[in-house]
Amino acid sequence: MNASNRLSLLLLGLMGLLMLGCQSQRPVEHIRDRAEFHYERGEYDIAIDEYQEIVDRYPGDWRAQYRLGQSALRIEHHSRARRALEVAHTLRPGNDEIADDLAEAMFQLGKEEELFAFLRERARSTQSPRAWMQLGRYAMELGDPDSARTAFETAIVHDDGQSAEPYLAAARFAEELGDLETAVRRLRQAYGIDPGNREVRERLRGLGEIPGPTLALPPGR
């Protein structure tokens, strides 16, 4: 057999191996379906393996990165969760759910300075009430009432009276500090915006107030 024939046979063999390798790879959507199945059943360790296979092949698949991070977070693999969620957040910086889970991973890892830097930057860049409330909630958890107060008040400003939630969050904070006068005022403002809100009504009753038309206060700081 001459050199040309040997080279042709070698190339054919390599092509066959490549084709076999391609055929042995499962379709991504099949992997995703299996991953979702295990995730929904709470079998997060299996789901992690499935999502990892997707991101190994397609690192830019933000959904798989997000689900990988969520799965890892559920079984307290916080470092792995943070890595995947950081990728997902980079790919989808406007996604609030990804940002929430990334913040939780940082919190669980005890990365307080990094967590505050992340939350402050997100709040300042988006100026969304949700982002400011998220900063306030973690500030409360980490024992920084001044930052929490500022964050909740800023959420109220940016919400501009559109929803009861910033006032309700501020009321929870004030009640936790024992500032019942402020808690009642914030709840009365929340009641004025959304008189049907069940938590607002229950908290008002818990503080000795009877919900009714005269109880409502206008929104504002």
Mean pLDDT for all residues in the chain? 90
Last residue of one domain, picked from the residues 53, 84, 110: 110
Could you tell me what percent of the chain has a pLDDT over 90? Answer: 86
Same domain membership, residue 139 and residue 218: yes
Summarised one tens digit per residue, pLDDT across range 133-168 is: 999 999 999 999 999 999 999 999 999 999 999 999
- Each residue's pLDDT tens digit, 192-219: 999 999 999 999 999 999 999 899 999 9
User: Are residues 135 and 94 part of one domain?
Assistant: no
Shared domain for 117 and 221, answered yes or no, is: yes
Measured N-to-C along each axis, helices 62-74 and 78-91 cross at an angle, to the nearest 10 degrees, of 160
Domain count, the chain: 2
Structural domain contains residue 21: no
Residue 13 lies in a domain: no
In a domain, 2, yes or no: no
- pLDDT confidence tier of residue 47, bands split at 50, 70 and 90: very high
Task: Identify the domain boundary among 70, 89, 110.
Answer: 110
Same domain, 146 and 200: yes
Q: Tell me the two tokens of residue 5.
A: 């024939």
Specify the DSSP class assigned to residue 215: G
Q: Range of 35's domain? A: 27-110
Q: How far apart are CA 104 and CA 180, in angstroms?
A: 29
Has residue 32 been placed in a domain? yes
Query: Which residue is associated with the tokens 């049907």?
Result: 196
Question: What does the longest C-alpha to C-alpha distance in the chain come to?
Answer: 101
